[in-house]
Amino acid sequence: METDVPRVGRRVGELHTQGVRLYDAARTLLADHHRALDAVRSALAPLRDELVAKELESIPVSRLKDVTEGRLRLAALEAAGLGSVRAVYEASRFELRQIPGVGAQTADQALAAARQIARAVEETVSVRIDVDRPDPRTAALVGALYRLVEAGPELRRAVDTAERFEGRLAELLPAARPATGRLRLALAGRRRREAALAAVAELRALTAEAAETDVRLRLAQASADLLREPASEIEVWVDFEVRSAEYYSQLAEVSAHRTDVAAAEGFVPSEVAERVHAQPLDDTHRRVALRGYQSFGARFALAQRRVVLGDEMGLGKTVQAIAALAHLAAEGHSHFLVVCPASVLINWTREIRARSTLRAVPVHGPDRGDAYAQWRERGGVALTTFDVLHTLPVPDGTSPAGLKDATPAGLKDAAPAGITTTPALLVVDEAHYIKNRDTRRARSVAVWTERCDRVLFLTGTPMENRVEEFRTLVRYLQPDLVPVIRESDAVAGPHSFRKAVAPAYLRRNQRDVLTELPALLQVDEWEEFSAADQDAYRAAVLEGNFMAMRRAAYADPEKSAKLQRLRELVAEAAENGLKVAVFSYFRGVLETVRAALGDGVFGPISGAVPAARRQRLVDDFTAAEGHAVLLCQIEAGGVGLNLQAASVVVLCEPQVKPTLEHQAVARAHRMGQVRPVQVHRLLATDSVDDRLLRILENKNRLFDAYARRSDTAEATPDAIDVSDDGLARRIVEEEQRRLAGEQPD
């Protein structure tokens, strides 16, 4: 007992007090989190109940027989005027018993059947938030979700930490209490004494861990985030417009909305699904919450190691890849490589920096040698293009076979022989670019895939439509699987094909997994000017020609970075059978797009086209079988036309008047649209696009624009213009100063 004396008394009492404070902090956060979740559920319930009621109203009462296998007698209910399942569902047992011919058994059976149908309907209905028609109930829901979204992905980690500490401390604190005083410990029995001293030792370790990782501070910060009130209702609505996907992600998580699990998991066999579910996914270095199907995709890439992720466009393949990168970084890996077309390199750079804590290192352009050496030394995610990859020394210090002479001297110096910076994960975006194994880009990728243990190919092209192309991609990844890939699997349908190739391929479609997501997905497509673009832009700036600056990215169609990205978006939409509406302020830009896309393009619709002709163009576009493209001048095509056949919208440049964009998108994103609408806005870095967005995205202007929305504003784009008279002049002057500063002395 003498050796135990130093452990008891004041020091243990202080330790116990620290544990109590930590326990209280954990419980406080969990209580705040539960209140936030309850607020969302309370706001969601009446909206969902209304949707369920509408669905039940449309289901005839005769369907109750299906649930009871024909045993239910409905004649008396129908005679009493109960024509729908809703009428039965909302009736009480007493009310049904009052109907002549309805006994206790019939009433109970009818109610049970109606409730069973209602539960099934509740699992399928999806609450959508219409930002253009806000009402008090949806405002309450968005306001409740705001707290969870604003708290960010750190909230989930904080709650997990709180649950762990709360659960452990709930056991340790009572067990350790006898050791807080010498007399109390002395009066305890031998077993309680031993348990108390053991609990003190564990409590000391737990509080030390909490102090080292600032657990109390993190829990308190999470609680503060959950209690933070928005400045106004307008702020909440504007935030929802900007981050609607995050709001819907939180809504799906809180409401436990059930999607088709088999579809969300790409119809992979159970043994593959079990392996994927067993794969952990660390979010320490991730700054974005994942949808359930996205989490499965990231885990699939990690568990299967060398795979093709072929999700339909708009499902977030980039985010899933970043989640896999972030997990590997949390495991201690330091070097990663992304290979992509030049047109999406800037987007990858921005996404990695915005969605993770990982270091993005673009290895492109004249300074790529220095960037590559920096990546090799410091790590991070190196981002390069198919055309640059062949110049980079592979991990054994050589260039890809047959391409040694292409490596610039600077890169050879930057990466001497014997380097060991093998990427922990190689990501190849738009992997269908390497379907021809005889090309230089394909040979370069092949060399890197041979040296990397983990490889992730991304492509939105449905591989079951191109079996031979798929065999080519799998040959890079899992060559042993190639002999089992048969044409007959594809002929049997996409589900059969995906099951057959599940070890190396995962694909999900929008209609299967976006049932509760917003019908509008917005993506900013950032591009770097090509040399030709830059020359045209500089000339326009020197002339002080604001309009020429805005369309400079299309001055040389053969070398236009924006036009190249537009081609890629249209090609992917074509592969998926989606219709595309392309908008520009400039008729000349639309003519350039038309020439670039070739046959099968409708329009352009412009102010010079009579109204009747415009409608015929829209009708022909709508009636076209499968994929089609419609070109519209934004001031003409954004008003009065219904383009709900289009599920992809491309904006060739940002607009001075935001309502022009809003109306153009609204032509497709409206009642009658049965698919989510993807909006791709083509933007050029370090240009008028950058300057224009910086001004227009000022929050005060956004609030003002939202607050002043009206029927008049919706009908007439000129009714709201957040720009001022000197906007063009201001941007021109800024660009002239910036470019003058770049000139050599």
pLDDT(285) > 80: yes
Domain that holds residue 119: 1-258
Q: What is the mean pLDDT of residues 714-742?
A: 66
Higher pLDDT pick, 497 / 397: 497
For the segment 586-591, the average pLDDT, to the nearest whole number, is 94
Query: What pLDDT does 405 receive?
Result: 40
The structural domain count of the chain equals 3
What's the pLDDT score for residue 717?
38
pLDDT at 201 over 50: yes
Least confident of 13-27, 69-83, 351-365: 69-83
State which of 228, 258, 288 marks the end of a domain.
Answer: 258
Structure confidence at residue 109 (pLDDT): 86
Kindly report the number of other CB atoms within 10 A of residue 173's CB atom. 17
Tell me what pLDDT residue 697 has. 65
For the beta carbon of residue 560, count every other beta carbon within 10 angstroms: 26
677 and 711 together in one domain:
yes
Q: Which residue type does 499 have? A: K
Give the residue among 610, 591, 609, 611 at the shortest CA–CA distance from 601: 591
Q: Does position 70 have pLDDT exceeding 70, yes or no?
A: no
219 lies in the same domain as 365: no
| pLDDT at residue number 230 | 82
pLDDT tens for each residue of 523-550: 889 999 989 999 999 999 999 999 999 9
Q: Judge if 483 and 589 occupy the same domain.
A: no
Final residue of a domain: which of 227, 258, 289?
Answer: 258
The reply to whether 264 falls in a domain is: no
Stated as kind and residue range, the H or E segment containing 159 is helix 154-176
Q: 296-305, 424-433, 504-513: which has the minimum mean pLDDT?
A: 504-513
Buried b (16+ CB within 10 A) or exposed e, 317-336: bbbbbbbbbbbbbbeeeebb
* 629 three-state secondary structure: strand
Q: Using alpha carbons, list the distances in angstroms from residue 537 to 345, 534, 546, 681.
A: 21, 5, 10, 19
- For residue 88, CA distances in Å to 67, 177, 643 come to 14, 58, 40
Among 181-195, 235-249, 272-286, the range scoring the smallest mean pLDDT is: 181-195
549 and 603, same domain (yes or no): yes
Lowest mean pLDDT among 51-60, 305-314, 554-563, 689-698: 689-698
Over residues 227-245, mean pLDDT: 80
Residues 608 and 690 in one domain: yes
Query: Is residue 270 in some structural domain?
Result: no
Is it the case that residue 410 has pLDDT exceeding 70? Answer: no
The three-state secondary structure class of 385 is strand
Q: Is the pLDDT of residue 720 over 50?
A: no
Q: In whole angstroms, give the CA distance from residue 491 to residue 486.
A: 9
The lowest-confidence range among 227-236, 434-443, 466-475, 713-722 is 713-722
Please tell me the distance from the alpha carbon of residue 516 to that of residue 628, in angstroms, as a whole number.
27
Q: Tell me which of 70-74, 321-325, 327-331, 363-367 is least confident.
A: 70-74
> Which is higher by pLDDT, 226 or 520?
226
pLDDT digits (tens, 9 = 90+) for 132-171: 677 889 999 999 999 998 888 788 889 999 999 999 999 9
Q: What pLDDT is recorded for position 8?
A: 52
Clarify whether residues 530 and 506 are in a common domain.
no
- Whether the predicted pLDDT of 188 surpasses 60: yes
Please indicate, yes or no, if residue 266 is contained in any of the structural domains.
no
Mean pLDDT of 89-107: 88
Between 45 and 728, residue with greater pLDDT:
45
Q: Is 672 exposed, middle or buried (0-12, 13-18, 19+ CB in 10 A)?
A: exposed
Residue 393, preceding peptide bond in cis (omega within 30° of 0): no
Nearest to 508 by CA among 460, 555, 574, 577: 460
On average, the pLDDT of the chain sits at: 82
Looking at the structure, tell me whether residues 591 and 615 fall in a common domain.
Answer: yes
If asked whether residues 499 and 469 sit together in one domain, one would say: yes
Mean pLDDT of 438-442: 92
Tell me whether residue 467 is in a domain: yes
The encoded tokens of residue 216 equal 């109390």
pLDDT at 418: 39
For residue 381, is it within any domain?
yes
Is 60 exceeded by the pLDDT of residue 6? no
Question: How large is the average pLDDT for residues 351-368?
Answer: 93
Q: Tell me, yes or no, whether 105 and 249 share the same domain.
A: yes
- Cα-trace Rg, the chain: 30
Residue 543: the pLDDT is 92
Q: Does 605 share its domain with 716? A: yes
Angle, in degrees to the nearest 10, between helices 440-451 and 467-477 = 40
Phi, psi of 625 (to 5 degrees): -75, 125
Across the range 178-203, mean pLDDT stands at: 78
Distance of CA 570 to the CA centre of its chain: 21
| pLDDT tens by residue, 593-644 | 999 998 779 989 888 888 678 878 888 888 888 899 999 998 875 555 667 6
Percent of the chain's residues with pLDDT above 70: 83
Whole-number Å distance between alpha carbons of 669 and 677: 6
pLDDT band at 416 (very low <50, low <70, confident <90, very high): very low
How much is the pLDDT for 659?
Answer: 67
Q: How far apart are CA 29 and CA 716, in angstroms?
A: 48
> How far apart (Å, rounded) are the C-alpha atoms in residues 157 and 164?
11
pLDDT: which is higher, 6 or 17: 17
Q: What is the CATH number of the domain that holds 501?
A: 3.40.50.10810
Distance CA 75, CA 73 (A): 6
56 within 8 A of 117, measured Cβ to Cβ:
yes
Which amino acid, residue 601?
Answer: V
Comparison of pLDDT for 493 and 122, the residue scoring more: 122
Sign of the dihedral through C-alpha 259, 265, 267, 272: negative
111 membership: H or E segment, kind and range: helix 104-124
* Last residue in a domain, options 513, 535, 553: 513
Alpha helix stretches (DSSP H) within 336-421: 345-355, 368-378, 386-389, 409-414
106-120, 289-303, 344-358: lowest mean pLDDT where?
106-120
Flag whether 524 is in a domain: yes
Q: What values do phi and psi take at 586, rounded to 5?
A: -105, 125
Q: Are 531 and 559 in contact (CB under 8 A)?
A: yes
Band of residue 509 on the pLDDT scale cut at 50, 70, 90: confident
Residues 349 and 414 in one domain: yes
- Is 715 part of a structural domain of the chain? yes
Confidence of residue 719 (pLDDT cuts 50, 70, 90): very low
Contact 455, 306 (CB under 8 A): yes
Domain at 722, CATH number: 3.40.50.300
pLDDT band at 408 (very low <50, low <70, confident <90, very high): very low
Kindly state the average pLDDT of the residues 702-717. 39
Q: Are 448 and 437 in contact (CB under 8 A)?
A: no
Q: Which of 294, 349, 372 is nearest to 327 (CA)?
A: 294
Q: What percent of the chain has pLDDT above 90?
A: 39
Identify whether 265 is part of a domain. Answer: no
The verdict on 338 and 222 lying in the same domain is no
Q: What is the pLDDT of residue 360?
A: 96
User: Residue 489 has what pLDDT?
Assistant: 58
- Say how far residue 688 (Cα) sits from the centre of its chain: 27
Tell me: pLDDT of 714 over 70.
no
Whether 337 shows a pLDDT value over 50: the answer reads: yes
Map 648-669 to HEC letters. EEEECCCCCCHHHHHHHHHHHC
